[in-house]
Structures are given as structure tokens and as C-alpha cells.
């Protein structure tokens, strides 16, 4: 269902000037796809949709051409490895402790890695919270991170 919905979203933004999630929901409904605003929001992030200015002066969703380069990916991984102090798990939540001021960089690195099972991240000054889909994804991630940090 997710692949069908995301495929429809891409068709919609290619064919129409859609500038709100509500418009996207309506267009999906017309095409027989029922979903929620929260799901649309996640799809927009996963599909890397961005808003661009049209020649008419309004905005519309479009697929981003920007991809994370291999060099940027390596730099993000190094930031993560150098800045992380500890990682611990509490059910499906992973707590990442960093050097002061580096939690945002660590979470950004993790977001760019497209980690399976990671729903999202939230960063403070020296602590990042990762929300994983379930407890097993959190435990699996914890094991992998501890290998990386050695």
C-alpha cells in the first residue's frame, strides 16, 4: 500500500501544482487512496519532496534533485563517530549522548543514513532521541552503533 500511495503522490506532484498536505490528501482521495495527514507528512520526507516557487509566484511540491553525496555521507558518519559519548535503549527509544553542542549533528547524520526502522529523531544540546518503529529495531540499532563506536 505504501508503494502505491507514494507512487500516486509522485504522479500528483508531477501533474498538478499542489502546495499543501491537505490538497495532496484530497487528490489522493479522488484517486481512491485513503490516508492520514501524518502519513502524508512521512511520505513527503521519504520522497524528499520540497516546495519550489512557481513562475506564478505560488509554491508547489516537487521532488528534490539534491542527494547526499558519498563524501557528505562519510563526513556525517565521522561527525557521529567522533561526537557520540554513549548510546542506550529504552524500549523503542534510543538515547544518544554527545559532546556538548553536537546532538543536532549526530541526529542529522543518523537521519541521512536512512536507517531501517527509524521513524525520526529529536536533538537537544548534548542528547538526541531516536524513535524506532519497535523494540527490536531499537535493540538492533544499539548493537550496530556500539560496533561503530569501538
Handedness of CA 70, 76, 79, 83 (dihedral sign): negative
Among candidate residues 43, 63, 83, the one where a domain is terminated: 63
The burial class, CB within 10 Å (0-12 / 13-18 / 19+), for 9 is buried
pLDDT in tens, 60-118: 998 876 554 555 556 666 777 788 899 999 999 999 999 999 898 888 878 877 788 99
Both 59 and 77 in a single domain? no
Range of the domain at 114: 73-149
CATH code at 54?
1.10.10.10
Both 58 and 78 in a single domain? no
For the chain, where are the alpha helices, taking DSSP H only?
Answer: 2-15, 21-30, 37-46, 70-83, 103-112, 135-149
Whose CA is closest to 139, among 80, 84, 91? 91
Whole-number average pLDDT of the chain: 86
At 21 the pLDDT is 93
36-45, 57-66, 117-126: the lowest-pLDDT one: 57-66
- Residue 20 is given by DSSP the state S
36-40, 63-67, 135-139: the lowest-pLDDT one: 63-67
Given a cut of 90, whether residue 11 has pLDDT beyond it is: yes
Both 78 and 142 in a single domain? yes
Rounded (10°) angle between helices 37-46 and 2-15: 80
CATH code at 93?
3.30.1360.40
Phi-psi label, residue 64: left if phi above 0, alpha if psi -120 to 50, beta otherwise? beta
Give the whole-angstrom CA distance, residue 9 versus residue 43.
8
| 68 in any annotated domain | no
Bridge partners, 86 (sequence order): 97
Both 54 and 12 in a single domain? yes
Given a cut of 60, whether residue 134 has pLDDT beyond it is: yes
| 14 in any annotated domain | yes
Give the whole-angstrom CA distance, residue 41 versus residue 103.
24
Number of structural domains (the chain) is: 2
Both 79 and 59 in a single domain? no
Both 52 and 111 in a single domain? no
Check if the beta carbon of residue 148 is closer than 8 Å to that of residue 114: no
Give the whole-angstrom CA distance, residue 138 versus residue 147.
14
Give the pLDDT mean for 13-28.
92
Both 132 and 88 in a single domain? yes
Among candidate residues 63, 85, 100, the one where a domain is terminated: 63
Amino acid at each position: 500500500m505504501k508503494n502505491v500511495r507514494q507512487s500516486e503522490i509522485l504522479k500528483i506532484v508531477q501533474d498538478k501544482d499542489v502546495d499543501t498536505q491537505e490538497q495532496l490528501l484530497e487528490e489522493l482521495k479522488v484517486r481512491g487512496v485513503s490516508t492520514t495527514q501524518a502519513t502524508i507528512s512521512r511520505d513527503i520526507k521519504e520522497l524528499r519532496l520540497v516546495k519550489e516557487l512557481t513562475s506564478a509566484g505560488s509554491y508547489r511540491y516537487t521532488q528534490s534533485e539534491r542527494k547526499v553525496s558519498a563524501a557528505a555521507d562519510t563526513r556525517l558518519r565521522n561527525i557521529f563517530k567522533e561526537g557520540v559519548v554513549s548510546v542506550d535503549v529504552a524500549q523503542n527509544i534510543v538515547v544518544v549522548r554527545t559532546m556538548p553542542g553536537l546532538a543536532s549533528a549526530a541526529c542529522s547524520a543518523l537521519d541521512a543514513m536512512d536507517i531501517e526502522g527509524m521513524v525520526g529523531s529529536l536533538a537537544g544540546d548534548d542528547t538526541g532521541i531516536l524513535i524506532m518503529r519497535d523494540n527490536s529495531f531499537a535493540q538492533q540499532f544499539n548493537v550496530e552503533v556500539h560496533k561503530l563506536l569501538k
